[in-house]
Chains A and B, each alone.
Chain A
Amino acid sequence: MSLLSIRNLHASIGDKEILKGVNLEINLGEVHSIMGPNGNGKSTLAGIIAGNSKFTVTEGEIIFKGKNILDMPVDVRAAEGIFLGFQYPVEIPGVSITNFMRTAVNEQRKYRGLDPLTGAQFMRLMEEKKKVVEMTTNLANRSVNEGFSGGEKKKNEIFQMAMLDPTLAILDETDSGLDIDALRIVASGVNKLRRPDNATIVITHYQRLLDYIVPDFVHVLYEGRIVKTGPKELALELESKGYEWIKEELESAK
């Protein structure tokens, strides 16, 4: 049984149909990359898996760990093990990262029938996970993403991923706005978290990130459908040839 199974997914925002029949199977231990030109539904797909109610699913299903998750609220999906790394992490003045994460970790533990972490246990966990993204700042006094640089925001996403230890992480353009050092740190953080019992979807425009996070599969999302799937070499081909040849291939197939 696959971890995530998306079948014939159609979705729209307002009257505009964005996804037009997406099919995708993801197994434990795999890293999938979804590439494609802007405005073709990559972030929509990520948002829908996470449970963003801004989008309406009009057809199809998403099965995660054997359960149809389309009716689950976003926080339940998270507690079931889905994590979305945001393309644009939201700033939340007045909520410290420490308390945000402690609340999240403990609410997820409660969902799974586990006791909450004590303050000391939580602090230990946090110190340990900060190392994943080489974070040195004292988080206790900082509000979530407030005044963070682009790199810090993305590092913070991976830090949260490390804290929550999801089964499926969806990273939505985690590489955008990163300089090369931050990119290396973020990618190496993701690699450290990679295990046989979890899976990752990496959404990106650029091959660059995939030099660091090597995918098992590369999918091209174009006009609301996955039109091509291949091994990691497909990313290199896209990088050198652009997306035009895929469009041409599709046209000639019609």
Chain B
Amino acid sequence: MEKIVQQFRDIHPLMRKNEVWRNVDFTSLLTDDLVLSQGERQTADYHCQIPDLEAIRFVVENGYYHQQSAQLPNGVIVSALRKAGDADAYFSRCAPKPNPYLQCNADNYSDGLYLSIPANTHIEKPIQLQSVINAGHGLFLQVRNLVVVGPHSHVTIIHCDDSYDQAPSFSNNVTEIYLHEGASVEFYKMQNINNASGLLNHTYVAMEHDARFRSVAITLNGGHIRNHTEIRMLGEHCDVQAHGLYLNDQEQRVDNYVFVEHAFPNCVSRELFKGILDDTAQGSFNGHVLVSEGAIKTEAYQSNKNILLTDKAFINTKPFLEIYNDDVKCSHGSTIGQLDEQALFYIRSRGISERTAKTLLLYAFCDEVLQQIMLQPLREKLVDLVKKRLHGELTPCAECSLHCSSPCNGPEADFHIDPSKL
């Protein structure tokens, strides 16, 4: 076994007493088959065909950044993180208390995207970062991205994690996003990796006053995905929206950990995570909102809703508010349930078959999260992908796991939810 893989594997026993990490066990995925990426380059065209989406695209293939030119506003710097270097003042700045998994990445990451945006710069087109795995053999990867957004600047980032082959892989990836005062970031994450692969995905966000951060993470497929997100508001009047949707079946596992720190007054955070688990899929939601003593007038809302389609699907949900002052508006809640029988009867009474009625309700369940995607072409594409997923038409195939680029050639769906298609 590769030395770093072994090192990484050895972390789990050390974390057994850590509440946040004790259930995180990737051991079964960390096999002898995994080798360190050498930056294997394929001739594949990682073309992303989201209709009407004009994005500035960057590719990280098998852990290494492809140098690409792009038309960007003056002063915007895009490069390989290895070139920008660990010396960058913002490197590791968003993660004040590194854990061993994070440290392993910091010490050994292969490469990734470095994006620095100066003050008062609004990047119109979304920036799309495709992290693709396509080596034809087992890989162990550690990608690291760093985004620094200057005062009052704006950027929309689409981050896709995709595997193009059926080989097992494990990724321990880190993305740090630093928002200066008044900056705003929309961060959309799409995850669609094969069933033999694992992904530990760290997102660390630090925000200065008046900054706004919105993230929506859509997990469509993956052997074991853990999204570990920590967001810190370091000034007043910050606004955080962190949302997620996970659709998992077979023996897949998906964990979402979200930590939000309210250290200053007058900040708002909203979390909505929803998931559907089928077969023997397992999931967890662990949300922690920390409101410090001085953080008066805090608003924090946390919600996790799940639908389990079988008796063997499993979800562990733990919304958690830790509040040290009285002047706050906070709520948290979680639900685990089946489909609403009344709604099902209502729909079927119009002549809609049970199967279609259920699919319709499952889609409706997802819609609340999808509506949080402000970028319209992306939202429409994801609506389509989620529908396909619910119809069982979205499975990783040998040709391409990146379903963003596969035109809809499956069987005609029984129903059409997307009103824009009428």
Contact = CB atoms under 8 A, between A and B. Distances in A.
B368 to A, nearest CB: 6
Contacts of B346: 86, 89-90, 92
Contacts of B367: 93-95
Chain B interface mostly helix, strand, loop or mixed?
helix
18 contacts: A51-B349, A53-B345, A75-B350, A75-B354, A78-B348, A84-B349, A86-B346, A92-B343, A92-B361, A94-B364, A94-B367, A96-B417, A98-B419, A99-B422, A103-B414, A103-B416, A107-B352, A107-B415
- Of the candidates B347, B350, B366, the one having the most CB atoms from chain A within 10 angstroms of its own CB is B350
Contacts of A111: 351
B422 A123 contact: yes
Nearest to B345: A52
B360 interface: yes
Contacts, number: 102
Contacts of A106: 415
Contacts of B365: 94
B350 to A, nearest CB: 4
Given A99-B419, A103-B416, A122-B422, A94 B351 contact: no
Contacts of A160: 350
Contact of A75 (B342, B357, B415, B417): B357
Nearest to B346: A90
Nearest to A92: B343
Contact of B350 (A52, A96, A143, A164): A164
Interface in A149-172: 160, 164
Interface of B: 340, 342-343, 345-354, 356-357, 360-361, 363-368, 414-419, 421-422
Contact of B351 (A52, A141, A143, A164): A164
- Of the candidates B346, B348, B350, B351, the one having the most CB atoms from chain A within 10 angstroms of its own CB is B351
B39 to A, nearest CB: 43
Nearest to B362: A94
Contacts of A22: none
A90 B417 CA distance: 18
A73 interface: yes
Contacts of A94: 363-368
A172 to B, nearest CB: 11
B348 A92 contact: no
A219 interface: no
